[in-house]
Amino acid sequence: MPISFGPLREHMKKNKVSYYFLANQGIDNRTIDRLRHDKAITTTTLNKLCSILNCQPGELIRYDPDPEPDAESGCRKQGTL
């Protein structure tokens, strides 16, 4: 997945914020599951998370591009942009 919510999970751990807390703040259980599994969320949800956690979007998401396919084998190279 190109978009990772790893920074969100790190932010939550560092600040001792639980998924239960997010649920009590109005984040839907399905959305919490999407966050846990690095699935897409809406910008409205991202806005709500930033408001709840008092942070900027860049503190919650990271872009990890898919590796480029190798020209000879068609397989994707690891660790390349």
74, pLDDT greater than 90: no
- Which tens digit of pLDDT belongs to each residue from 7-27? 999 999 999 999 999 999 999
Contacts of 79 (CB under 8 A, 6+ apart): 67
User: Cα–Cα distance between 5 and 35 in angstroms, integer?
Assistant: 6
Query: pTM value?
Result: 0.77
77, pLDDT greater than 70: no
Q: Closest Cα partner for 8 from 42, 44, 37?
A: 37
Q: Rounded to the nearest 5°, which phi and psi values hold at 34?
A: -65, -40
First-to-last C-alpha distance (Å) of the chain: 14
> Whole-number mean pLDDT of the chain?
89
